[in-house]
């Protein structure tokens, strides 16, 4: 499909640095019509978000530059359905925590949140229409297809819960109910994306495009996971914790395979450095507000005297002559590391310093926000916290005496008996209070 020069430039912005694009013709057709594409990125508020989130959040800057109307979905219902990763009583708190984290990260990257639409899944996923579509899907989707679709995303267990099988269908329906042209996510979501492409048309809805970024390996190799503290760095980790985790990260000399530090450099640090360099040159496309109100250090990860075209600088050890080495692309860094001209210690120091520069404004915002601190404690209560038994008074429970016993007991008269018999007496079944409390929790979540 032939595109104008402007439309081609917008398409390149939308798709650059992505690992895979499904349905690129759909996006080109929209750009050819000269209308803004609509896309969404969603996340389920389960474990504490980690720095791997910089990958999709940074990419959203490209979308805005290309004039895309972006929706950020906090999939609270999905968080509960994913094998109870987020119990109902914690979902609302974790959704609030994620909202605060994500908006602060956007501000630290200079991405204007005023151009983004934020929405909680429960605001529309509990409607009659949405649930009816969910039932329609359930009538045509096989257990095999549902399980296969969620294999890389939903936590897999020996005896799968029905909730995990519903997960892919709900994510597919989100595309329709959010009114978007494409969904953006990690390549680990590919099976859910192809599931959506297969089943949405069977409900009479159009097929959407799907954009996928690469997944960043964890510090010890494998996927960076919120459930594995050793594999990740949290947004709120202290600078000392960051350096400690980086020092223990797998980074074998000359080994460029499953190297989490090189992968993070490629997927996050160099793209952010490029975004900042482009911003200094006024190359922000249709997002004229980019950079306005940004918090924290907005300098690219290069020295002040770096040669033109440099996107990343590293400081060499004194024993290697000292000074700095400047790189114009990730490929140059990777080649030097493979040739053992760039050593693990130097790479770890450079990456660790850059990560701390990214996290400084986020940590500062958290420390200055009492509401956020309270939400954090509610969202992720300390499992090892001990209750203060000394100050906790034992609740007194009244046990009425048996009939005919007690100091105020008197034999009822016939008139008393007749009066009592006309008054209905109800006895609450055991556990009523617990059931009532649980019901109220669900009501609060829905509200």
Q: Which residue has the higher pLDDT, 151 or 21?
A: 21
Residue 317 pLDDT class (50, 70, 90 cuts):
confident
Q: Model's pTM, two decimal places?
A: 0.83
Question: What pLDDT does 384 receive?
Answer: 80
Distance CA 434, CA 92 (A): 19
Per-residue pLDDT tens over the stretch 326-351: 999 999 999 999 999 999 999 999 99
Does the structure show a pLDDT above 70 at 323? yes
Residue 84 pLDDT class (50, 70, 90 cuts):
low
DSSP 8-state secondary structure symbol assigned to residue 429: P
Determine what percent of the chain is predicted with pLDDT higher than 70.
83
Does the structure show a pLDDT above 60 at 409? no
Per-residue pLDDT tens over the stretch 226-236: 556 667 999 99
Note whether 217 and 258 are within 8 A (CB). yes
Residue 290 pLDDT class (50, 70, 90 cuts):
very high
Does the structure show a pLDDT above 50 at 412? no
Q: Which residues does 33 contact at the CB level (< 8 Å), separation at least 6? A: none
Distance CA 53, CA 226 (A): 11
Distance CA 261, CA 347 (A): 8
Question: What pLDDT does 291 receive?
Answer: 95
Distance CA 398, CA 333 (A): 74
Range list of β-strands (E), 205-351: 209-213, 312-315, 324-327
In DSSP notation, 316-383 reads: PPGGGT-SEEEESSHHHHHHHHHTTSS-HHHHHHHHHHHHHHHHHHHHHHHHT-HHHHHHHHHHS--T
Does the structure show a pLDDT above 90 at 37? yes
Distance CA 10, CA 4 (A): 10
Task: Report the sign of the C-alpha dihedral through residues 216, 221, 222, 225, in that order.
Answer: negative
Does the structure show a pLDDT above 60 at 411? no
Q: What average pLDDT does range 28-40 have in this prediction?
A: 97
CA dihedral 117, 364, 368, 276 (to 10 degrees): -40
Helix (H) or strand (E) holding 38: strand 38-43
Distance CA 8, CA 5 (A): 5
Does the structure show a pLDDT above 90 at 157? no
Does the structure show a pLDDT above 80 at 108? yes
Does the structure show a pLDDT above 60 at 363? yes
Lowest mean pLDDT among 78-82, 208-212, 313-317: 78-82
Structure tokens at 236: 């709120």
Q: What average pLDDT does range 152-156 have in this prediction?
A: 80
Q: What average pLDDT does range 105-114 have in this prediction?
A: 95
Does the structure show a pLDDT above 50 at 356? yes
Q: Which residues does 182 contact at the CB level (< 8 Å), separation at least 6? A: 23, 26, 27, 37, 38, 39, 208, 209, 210, 211
Per-residue pLDDT tens over the stretch 248-283: 999 999 999 989 999 999 999 999 999 999 999 999
Q: What average pLDDT does range 421-439 have in this prediction?
A: 42
Per-residue pLDDT tens over the stretch 114-129: 999 999 999 999 999 9
Q: Which residues pair with 341 in a beta bridge?
A: none
Question: What pLDDT does 401 receive?
Answer: 63
Does the structure show a pLDDT above 80 at 393? no
Task: Report the sign of the C-alpha dihedral through residues 292, 297, 301, 307, in that order.
Answer: positive
Distance CA 173, CA 130 (A): 8
Question: What pLDDT does 83 receive?
Answer: 67
Lowest mean pLDDT among 79-88, 361-370, 386-395: 386-395
Residue 410 pLDDT class (50, 70, 90 cuts):
low
Centroid of chain to Cα 172: 17
Does the structure show a pLDDT above 60 at 387? no
Q: What average pLDDT does range 163-179 have in this prediction?
A: 95
Q: What average pLDDT does range 154-183 have in this prediction?
A: 90
Per-residue pLDDT tens over the stretch 367-378: 999 999 999 999
Does the structure show a pLDDT above 90 at 161? no
Q: Which residue has the higher pLDDT, 194 or 219?
A: 194
Nearest CA to 236 out of 43, 58, 104 is that of 104
Q: Which residues does 295 contact at the CB level (< 8 Å), separation at least 6? A: 104, 107, 108, 361, 364, 365
What mean pLDDT value characterizes the chain? 87
Note whether 3 and 31 are within 8 A (CB). yes
């Amino acid at each position: 499909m032939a595109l104008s020069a402007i439309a081609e430039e917008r398409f390149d912005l939308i798709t650059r640095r992505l690992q895979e694009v499904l349905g690129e013709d759909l996006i080109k057709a929209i750009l050819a019509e000269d209308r803004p594409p609509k896309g969404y990125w969603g996340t389920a508020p389960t474990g504490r978000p980690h720095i791997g989130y910089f990958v999709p959040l940074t990419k959203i800057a490209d979308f805005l530059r290309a004039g895309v109307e972006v929706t950020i979905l906090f999939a609270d219902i999905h968080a509960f359905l994913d094998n109870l990763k987020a119990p109902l009583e914690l979902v609302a708190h974790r959704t609030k925590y994620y909202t605060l984290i994500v908006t602060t990260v956007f501000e630290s990257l200079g991405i204007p949140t005023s151009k983004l639409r934020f929405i909680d899944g429960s605001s529309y996923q509990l409607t009659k229409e949405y649930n009816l579509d969910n039932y329609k899907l359930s009538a045509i989707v096989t257990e095999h297809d549902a399980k296969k679709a969620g294999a890389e995303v939903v936590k897999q267990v020996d005896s799968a819960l029905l909730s995990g099988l519903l997960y892919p269908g709900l994510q597919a329906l989100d595309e329709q109910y959010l009114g978007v042209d494409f969904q953006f996510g990690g390549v680990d979501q590919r099976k859910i994306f192809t599931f959506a492409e297969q089943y949405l048309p069977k409900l009479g809805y159009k097929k959407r495009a799907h954009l996928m970024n690469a997944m960043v390996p964890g510090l010890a190799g494998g996927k960076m996971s919120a459930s594995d503290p050793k594999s990740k760095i949290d947004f709120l980790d202290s600078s000392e914790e960051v350096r400690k985790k980086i020092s223990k990260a797998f980074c074998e000399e000359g080994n460029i395979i499953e190297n989490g530090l090189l992968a993070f450099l490629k997927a996050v640090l160099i793209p952010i450095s490029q975004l900042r360099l482009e911003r200094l040159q006024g190359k922000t496309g249709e997002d004229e507000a980019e950079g306005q109100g940004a918090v924290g250090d907005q300098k690219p990860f290069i020295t002040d005297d770096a040669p033109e075209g440099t996107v990343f600088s590293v400081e060499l050890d004194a024993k290697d002559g000292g000074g700095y080495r400047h790189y114009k692309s990730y490929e140059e860094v990777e080649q030097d590391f493979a040739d053992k001209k760039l050593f693990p210690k130097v790479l770890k120091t450079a990456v660790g310093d850059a990560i701390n520069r990214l996290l400084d404004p986020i940590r500062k915002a958290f420390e200055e926000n009492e509401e956020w601190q309270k939400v954090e404690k509610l969202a992720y209560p300390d499992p090892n916290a001990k209750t203060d038994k000394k100050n906790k008074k034992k609740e007194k429970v009244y046990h009425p005496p048996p009939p005919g016993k007690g100091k105020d007991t008197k034999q009822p008269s016939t008139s008393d008996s007749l009066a009592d018999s006309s008054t209905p007496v109800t006895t609450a079944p055991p556990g009523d209070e617990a059931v009532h409390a649980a019901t109220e929790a669900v009501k609060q979540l829905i509200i």
